[in-house]
Amino acid sequence: MPDGERVFLITHEFYPKRGGIATFAEEIARATAELGYRVEVWAQSAPAAVEKADWPFRLRRMPLKGTHDLSCQLRLASELVRNRRELRHATVYLPEPGPMLTMMLLQFFHAFRPRRLVLTFHGSEILRFAERPIRRWLARRLIRRASRVSAVSNYTQELLLARFPEAADKIYLTPGALRADFAVVPAHPGATGGKIVVLTVGRLHPRKGQLLTLQALHLLPAEVRARVEYWIVGGPGRGDYEQRLRRAAAGMPDLGVRFFGNLPDDELAAVYERADIFAMTSVNLPHSVEGFGLVYLEAAAHGLPVIAHDVGGVSEAVVDGVTGLLVPPDRPLQLAAAFEKLVHDRDLRARLGAAGREWARRNCWKESAAALFNPTWGEP
């Protein structure tokens, strides 16, 4: 047992922010505390009313918004330096790139050296860190100083080792799992005679592929398209992507498209239960990749068959032909054919969904937390 060892988890992305990294940070903090560590999360500012009563860890909100700009990095640096005596004798865990950028600079100050430093990589930040020579050099130094490094998927691990081989003797896999409130999910009832609902949950961003799903559904034969509705859940990202989506949907009047925006978890669960197929056709961009995809597990836990692009670490979250159908990117006709297959075959939808419910339970947050912080601190 860790006997109350202190762990400070420092993040720019924490509840009430949504997304895979925010979920990862919250659930790792919960699991680490349940293993017996004294966990304190330092996170971006947020209204006090949003905090959860069942967190088994302490939460400290810092006076910063949680962006990656210079002012936010300087504010975080100031907080860390101000509390350096407290952090010096503890484990400092950085589960995402925001605080890593700050630590890349603070690593040169000998007065600020935590006893142990632990890092987790998700995918896209590896490419961004490796792109520029100075940042690549800083990241390499930080990885060398780290006691332990983790990756959320085999894909991310291979990407990290290709760009930063310094991690080879200290790297562990720490895959994500279902959120704590996904422990029990009712069996999905299946379609009840209405339209087949295709659902996407994710921020509105070109990498998440909502527009590609919309275009593939438009390629369906008219009689098949008439049986389908496309539901899009997620808040806007940067740029005009949401406007592009809405314009495209308006140009397809025979395809029902609904935009829900961001939804709280209880409302989102109800939307999952009304859907028949989950689709997130992510694509890898030059500096942004899909390292895993917790949302695929959440959809599977609701008994939904999944349609996705076979990119990044998606194949570690969706098993082709078992829990869903994987399609190569840039194959719109093949993507449309996958949708048509599931629309026509209710038994296949049920079979993939049932397998997905089992598959979604295979990972465990406590196992990932133990890999990060187990007291032996031995070799992988």
Each residue's pLDDT expressed in tens, for the chain with a length of 380 residues: 466 789 999 999 999 988 899 999 999 999 999 999 999 999 999 887 578 888 999 999 999 988 888 889 999 999 999 999 999 999 999 999 999 999 999 999 877 889 999 999 999 999 999 999 999 999 999 999 999 999 999 999 999 999 999 999 999 999 999 988 774 556 555 544 589 999 999 999 999 999 999 999 999 999 999 999 999 999 887 789 999 999 999 999 999 999 999 998 889 999 999 999 999 999 999 889 999 999 999 999 999 999 999 999 999 999 999 999 999 999 999 999 999 999 999 999 999 999 999 999 999 999 999 999 986 644 44
pLDDT in tens, 158-207: 999 999 999 999 999 999 999 887 745 565 555 445 899 999 999 999 99
81 within a domain of the structure (yes/no): yes
Residues 199, 161, single domain; the answer is: no
Residues 188, 138, single domain; the answer is: no
| pLDDT score, position 192 | 47
CATH for 153? 3.40.50.2000
Residues 307, 352, single domain; the answer is: yes
Residues 34, 74, single domain; the answer is: yes
| pLDDT score, position 151 | 98
380 within a domain of the structure (yes/no): no
> Which domain, by its residues, includes 218?
182-359
Residues 84, 151, single domain; the answer is: yes
Residues 109, 32, single domain; the answer is: yes
Contacts of 97 (CB under 8 A, 6+ apart): 68, 122, 125, 128, 129
Measured CA to CA, the distance from residue 100 to residue 119 in angstroms comes to 8
Residues 302, 154, single domain; the answer is: no
87 within a domain of the structure (yes/no): yes
98 within a domain of the structure (yes/no): yes
125 within a domain of the structure (yes/no): yes
| pLDDT score, position 380 | 42
23 within a domain of the structure (yes/no): yes
Residues 136, 55, single domain; the answer is: yes
58 within a domain of the structure (yes/no): yes
Residues in the chain: 380
Contacts of 68 (CB under 8 A, 6+ apart): 12, 97, 98, 101
379 within a domain of the structure (yes/no): no
Residues 86, 190, single domain; the answer is: no
Residues 150, 220, single domain; the answer is: no
| pLDDT score, position 375 | 63
Residues 297, 332, single domain; the answer is: yes
| pLDDT score, position 379 | 43
Residues 136, 14, single domain; the answer is: yes
pLDDT in tens, 322-376: 999 999 999 999 999 999 999 999 999 999 999 999 999 999 999 999 999 986 6
When divided into structural domains, the chain yields a total of 2
Residue 186 is which amino acid? P
